[in-house]
Structure 1
Amino acid sequence: MNQEITRRNFIATATLATGFALAVQPVSAKVITTDTKGLVAGAVKIPVKDGEIPAYRAQPATGSNFPIVLVIQEIFGVHEHIQDVTRRFAKLGYLAIAPELFIRQGDVSKLSNIDEIRPIVAKVPDAQVLSDLDATVAWAVKSAKGNANRLGITGFCWGGRIVWLYAAHNPEVKAGVAWYGRLVGDATELQPKYPIDIASTLTVPVLGLYGGKDTGIPLDTVEKMRDRLKSSSSKSEIIVYPDAPHAFYADYRPSYREKEAKEGWKKLQAWFKQHGV
């Protein structure tokens, strides 16, 4: 096992429960906190090809054969908000798990400036992420009483892009919900494809939730994605909330919009139920 990865694993696992990423301080007063009553929740380690990665897992304390939801982090890592989202799913009866997908490249939770975070995240290969998510699903089935036949995925911002890509990578996914994930971009060796590149061949139904006032994701790219999806068999859909900015679900940030966030969460639950997650 790579010694550097092991050292970073220890650091990241120890910091999973310490709160919010430094780069998003101060935290909004509207932050939602979901308790762990009736749940098993906390840090776990996921065996991957080159060692282990830390993750945050939440699931009901009793029962088995739980539907699985992969929760994919923002650029800020698996901090308290992402952990809380997993607990929200667990309260609904899901086994939800959020793996630390940047850990080999660095611990972004300790960085206070987004300009320090971006270079780390830019070094994360898509192939590594997809492989780690495969390993996370395998762990959920083998070690946490998860049902491989009821697999869903959701993610936010950076994780929203990954939702589209993982749905294309793993046709066993029953449904995905992508919150304001970037749809187009310049191909690189580490990030060779963007959602628009896989849209026409997608078979997994993905619901995209986007903000009409998102300055980082132009509406024309959303419309291009919609157009490409028409030729796929996935029956994917995109909803745009006209007055919502980027990160409108992030209740710990000023971008939070309660109305659109609550409506999007209801849409997510209905989408998962409709498609057997």
Structure 2
Amino acid sequence: MSQTITLTAADGHTLSAYSAGPADAPRALVVVQEIFGVNHHIRTVADAFGAEGYRVIAPALFDRAERDVELAYDQAGVQKGLKLRAAIPPEDTLLDIVAAARALGLEPAHTGIIGYCWGGTLAWQAACRTDSFGAAVGWYGAGIAAKRTLVPHCPVELHFGETDGSIPLSDIAAIRAAHPDLPIYIYPDAGHGFGCSERASFNAPAAELAQTRSLAFFDRRL
């Protein structure tokens, strides 16, 4: 059942979150938003994982700066999303992600995290800077290369688009050099946001393959 719930982070901050999937699921996922908020697309993503048998929580990470944010996939949405992201200290965002993981109610070994865009970077940081997850997947996280020296505490899988204007192939090569055993997939003719059907950059074959791989990864690891 899908619903909006309230989470409380370790510092006392309360935030809303979208919850989906069976409450008694044996495996769980935190779905981490793009810079556009917990919008229709992210709720659809959460519902899809819920239909696969996961209990899912997508925390509203912008709540520390502004509540009920759902931005459009246009330049105005991008600019506001970037402004909101910059207003929140990264360590506070991680507190909110950990709160979502705890609310799922399972041990870290059975709790995964997957993120998109900004969320892809956050999934990487959560895998490296917390012990809350048994597996992590990042889709087109532009900030991962800058944090490639971090060491993950759980298995990680990454997905990138070959023609992503915000993530050059040299960044992906740098991540591979830092973590040669990490599974990294590059999708031909796929740009930034290729997994979102509400964006002009949507690439259906790449999105379907990346989703299949992500599900298989979690199936093996959680």
Considering the TM-score relative to the shorter chain, is it more than 0.5? yes
| Aligned counterparts of 1:57 and 1:258: Cα–Cα separation in 2 | 25
Give 1:270's match in structure 2, choosing from 212, 216, 219.
Answer: 216
Among 37, 44, 50, the alignment partner of 2:5 is 44
CA distance in 2, matches of 1:215, 1:181: 12
1:196 is aligned to: 148
- Structure 1 residues 65 and 149, CA, compared in 2 at 3 Å: closer, same or farther? farther
1:238 maps to which of 164, 169, 184: 184
Please show how residues 124-139 of structure 1 align to structure 2 within 5 Å.
Answer: 124-139=88-103
Give the CA deviation at 1:204. Answer: 1.5
Aligned equivalents of 1:163 and 1:241: distance in 2?
Answer: 20
- Equivalent runs, 1:45-84 vs 2, <5 Å: 45-48=6-9, 49-60=11-22, 64-84=24-44
Q: What letter is aligned with 2:79? A: D
Q: Distance in 1 between matches of 2:71 and 2:154?
A: 36
Aligned length: 217
CA drift of 1:195 comes to 2.9
Q: What do the CA deviations read for 1:223-277 (whole angstroms, capped 9, x no partner)?
A: 00011012xxxx42110012101100001111111100000000001111121x2
In the superposition, the TM-score normalised over structure 2's length comes to 0.91
State the identity as a percent: 29
Partner of 1:257: 203
Q: Residue 31 of structure 2 aligns to a residue in which SS?
A: strand
Flag the 1:140–1:172 CA change in 2: closer, same or farther, 3 A.
closer
**Aligned-partner Cα distance in 2 for 1:52–1:172:** 19
2:86 aligned with 1:122, yes or no? yes
Distance change in 2, residues 1:205/1:119 (3 Å): same
Residue pair 2:4, 2:17 contacting (<8 A) in 1 also? yes
Counterpart in the other structure of 2:124: 164
User: Is the counterpart of residue 174 in structure 1 residue 124 in structure 2?
Assistant: no
Aligned to 1:247: 193
SS in structure 2 opposite 1:131? helix
User: Residue 161 of structure 2: which of 211, 224, 239 is its match?
Assistant: 211
- The 3 A distance-change label for structure 1 pair 218 and 59 is same
Query: Which piece of structure 1 moves more, 97-106 or 176-185?
Result: 176-185
Mapped contact 2:36–2:71 kept (Cα < 8 A)? no
How far did 1:119 drift? Answer: 1.5
Partner of 1:27: none
The SS at the match of 1:256 is coil
Kindly state the Cα deviation for residue 92 of structure 1 after the two structures are TM-superposed. 0.8
Structure 1-normalised TM-score? 0.74
CA contact (8 A) 1:65 1:147 kept: no
Q: Please provide the CA RMSD for this pair.
A: 1.8
Secondary structure at the aligned position of 1:103 is classed as: helix
The letter for the 1-side match of 2:156 is V
Select the structure of larger CA radius of gyration: 1
- In structure 1, how many angstroms separate the alpha carbons of the residues matched to 2:213 and 2:34? 20
Q: Structure 1 stretches (4+) deviating beyond 4 angstroms? A: none
Change (3 A) 1:243 1:54: same
- 3-state DSSP of counterpart to 2:95: helix
By how many angstroms is 1:170 displaced? 2.2
Q: Which residue of the partner structure matches residue 9 of structure 1?
A: none
Stretch deviating more after TM superposition (112-121 or 262-271): 112-121
Contact 2:37 2:71 in 1 (8 A): no
**Deviation of 1:126 (Å):** 1.2
